[in-house]
């Protein structure tokens, strides 16, 4: 086991350190040209070009914009490595020279700013680097490597779109499905665990129906704004009063829209909320409570009809297979210094990565790579201000390029070779 490491690139597998300048250019290029979910044509093209140049059999357009590359290198296991490609409708506020100034049209026809506020640009670069490094060092391993660049993770549709497009029938079943995500944490560190690692997520829309009136005549209305406000406040009691202290759940109302003018009471109000849970029983209890509260507040307001509750998207739990997670963790411990490997708790963030292992009935492992400047993180921790570090989805979220870039490439190569070198 390594105990010291002055420069992370000194221990990169094979000739990976020689790839870093080009990979940095790829990363800043993708960051500057983000694409919304299921619109990732340019990013997919860059990924496909990299795979072809490295000698992979490449299939594009899987699940609309997904890319699958296969590198067959003799008999042996098949390992799938996955990266997501999509960006978010967020206005970038990082101020770096390679910041995004992109505007795009979303599926509702709105022109929105676009930013890689969740780090998927880093994920694509990691997988491009790992795929190239493994191809250039194929004498050191045997088996089949499958590189999957997935669209639409942010809308929980990309993994399902690839599966529905025949992923399981068109490509070999993997012996292991591996993925990772950049998160707040000291750059160069890796967090992993067995069991549940990311939460289940359910997004819902609640449409509340009232009766509009002049703002000066509230007695003639059934005010959906008041109805919505009461509903939002009551929803906050689910976690504090209906979820046990040893359980975990998050209920967040991210949008409340009603009316257009201060002296007009509207007919309707729309609430959009997100629920995160780590247990199926808790999930059902929370979702049932959301429905009960919405209906009860509508009835209490004298609404003319019950609210309309519409599911928006759904992320399953991501659960790391115990034996496979142990195999990856042991490989990391052999390669990295001990102080860079951390046992992490389950994250309240959500992912559709787990769909691949579940549908293929193959063991999967997901882990986190820190992307925060270590000095900034240490100072924030000492001052009890870690919560002030911009998180994923924040307009100022920006992983430090080094050593985040080389660490993420290393982890994919090391984890893949835990099977391919067997």
| CATH, residue 311 | 3.30.70.360
Q: How many residues does the chain have?
A: 422
pLDDT of residue 16: 75
Q: Are residues 372 and 406 located together in one domain of the fold? A: yes
Q: Is 116 annotated as a binding residue?
A: no
pLDDT in tens, 60-104: 999 999 999 999 999 999 999 999 999 999 999 999 999 999 999
Range of the domain at 173: 8-199+317-420
Q: What is the CATH number of the domain that holds 146?
A: 3.40.630.10
Residue 231 lies in a domain: yes
Say if 190 falls within a structural domain.
yes
Which ranges of 336-400 does DSSP label H, i.e. alpha helix? 354-360, 374-382
Asked if the structure places residue 130 within a domain, the reply is yes
246/347 same-domain check: no
User: Residue-wise pLDDT tens for the chain (422 aa)?
Assistant: 333 333 333 445 557 789 999 999 999 999 999 999 999 999 999 999 999 999 999 999 999 999 999 999 999 999 999 999 999 999 999 999 999 999 999 999 999 999 999 999 999 999 999 999 999 999 999 999 999 999 999 999 999 999 999 999 999 999 999 999 999 999 999 999 999 999 999 999 999 999 999 999 999 999 999 999 999 999 999 999 999 999 999 999 999 999 999 999 999 999 999 999 999 999 999 999 999 999 999 999 999 999 999 999 999 999 999 999 999 999 999 999 999 999 999 999 999 999 999 999 999 999 999 999 999 999 999 999 999 999 999 999 999 999 999 999 999 999 999 999 85
Same domain for 154 and 121: yes
272: in domain: yes
pLDDT, position 156: 93
Residues contacting residue 110 through CB under 8 Å, at least 6 positions apart: none
Q: Does 330 reside within a domain?
A: yes
On whether both 98 and 133 belong to a single domain, the answer is: yes
Output the CA torsion sign for 8, 9, 14, 19: positive
Alpha-carbon distance of 418 to 422, in angstroms, equals: 7
Question: Do 188 and 213 belong to one domain?
Answer: no
- Domain co-membership, 132 together with 174: yes
63 and 187 within one domain: yes
Q: Confirm whether 3 is domain-assigned.
A: no
19 lies in the same domain as 146:
yes
Same domain assignment for residues 51 and 152: yes
CA separation (Å) from 158 to 22, 148, 172? 28, 11, 19
**What pLDDT is recorded for position 78?**
98
| pLDDT for 1 | 32
Entry pTM: 0.89
Say if residue 132 is in the same domain as residue 208.
no
Tell me which DSSP letter residue 317 carries. Answer: P
Residues whose CB is less than 8 angstroms from the CB of residue 133 and which lie 6 or more positions away in sequence, other chains included = 12, 13, 14, 15, 16, 19, 409, 413
294 occurs within a structural domain: yes
| Final residue before a domain boundary, out of 290, 315, 340 | 315
- Domain endpoint, select from 299, 315, 331: 315
Whether 310 and 337 map to the same domain: the answer is: no
Two structure tokens written together for 96:
């770096």
CA atoms within 13 A on the CB side of 63: 28
The verdict on whether residue 120 carries a ligand-binding annotation is yes
Structurally, how many domains does the chain consist of?
A: 2
Would you say 154 is a known binding-site residue? yes
CA distance 273 to 247: 20
Residues 147 and 246 in one domain: no
Judged by DSSP in three states, 331 sits in helix
Residue where a domain terminates, one of 261, 292, 315? 315
Q: Please give the pLDDT value at position 7.
A: 39
Residue 214, annotated as binding a ligand: no
- Residue 2 inside a domain? The answer is no
Instruction: Answer for the pair 80, 178: CB distance below 8 angstroms, yes or no.
Output: yes
Cα-only R_g, the chain:
23
């Amino acid at each position: 086991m390594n105990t010291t490491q002055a420069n992370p690139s000194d221990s990169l597998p094979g000739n990976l350190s020689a790839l870093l300048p080009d990979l940095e250019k790829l990363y800043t290029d993708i960051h500057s040209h983000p694409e919304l979910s299921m619109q990732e044509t340019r990013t997919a093209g860059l990924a496909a070009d990299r795979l072809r140049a490295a000698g992979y059999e490449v299939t594009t357009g899987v699940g609309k914009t997904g890319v699958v590359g296969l590198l067959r290198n003799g008999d042996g296991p098949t390992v799938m490595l996955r990266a997501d490609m999509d960006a978010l409708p967020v206005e970038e506020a990082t101020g770096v020279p390679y910041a995004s100034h992109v505007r795009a049209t979303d599926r509702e026809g709105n022109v929105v700013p676009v930013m890689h506020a969740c780090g998927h640009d880093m994920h694509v670069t990691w997988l491009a680097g790992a795929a190239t490094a493994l191809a250039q060092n194929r004498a050191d391993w045997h088996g089949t490597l499958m590189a999957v660049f997935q669209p639409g993770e942010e809308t929980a549709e990309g993994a399902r779109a690839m599966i529905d497009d025949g992923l399981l029938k068109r490509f070999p079943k993997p012996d292991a499905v591996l993925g990772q995500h950049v998160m707040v944490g000291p750059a160069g560190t890796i967090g992993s665990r067995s069991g549940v690692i990311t939460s289940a997520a359910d997004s819902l829309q609640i449409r509340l129906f009232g009766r509009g009136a002049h703002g000066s005549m509230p007695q003639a209305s059934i005010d959906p704004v008041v109805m919505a406000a009461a509903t939002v406040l009551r929803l906050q009691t689910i976690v504090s009063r209906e979820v046990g202290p040893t359980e975990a759940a998050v209920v967040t109302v991210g949008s409340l829209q009603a009316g257009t003018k201060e002296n007009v009471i509207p007919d309707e109000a729309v609430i959009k909320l997100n629920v995160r849970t780590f247990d199926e029983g808790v999930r059902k209890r929370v979702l049932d409570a959301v429905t009960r509260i919405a209906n009860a507040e509508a009835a209490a307001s004298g609404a003319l009809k019950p609210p309309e509750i519409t599911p928006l998207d759904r992320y399953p739990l991501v659960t790391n297979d115990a034996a496979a997670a142990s195999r990856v963790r042991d490989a990391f411990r052999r390669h990295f210094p001990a102080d860079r490997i951390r046992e992490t708790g389950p994250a309240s963030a959500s992912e559709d990565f787990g769909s691949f292992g579940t549908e293929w009935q193959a063991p999967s492992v997901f882990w986190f790579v820190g992307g925060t400047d270590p000095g900034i993180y240490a100072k924030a921790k000492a001052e009890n201000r870690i919560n002030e570090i911009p998180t994923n989805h924040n307009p100022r979220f920006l992983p430090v390029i080094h050593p985040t870039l080389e660490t993420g490439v290393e982890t994919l190569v090391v984890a893949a070779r835990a099977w391919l070198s067997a």
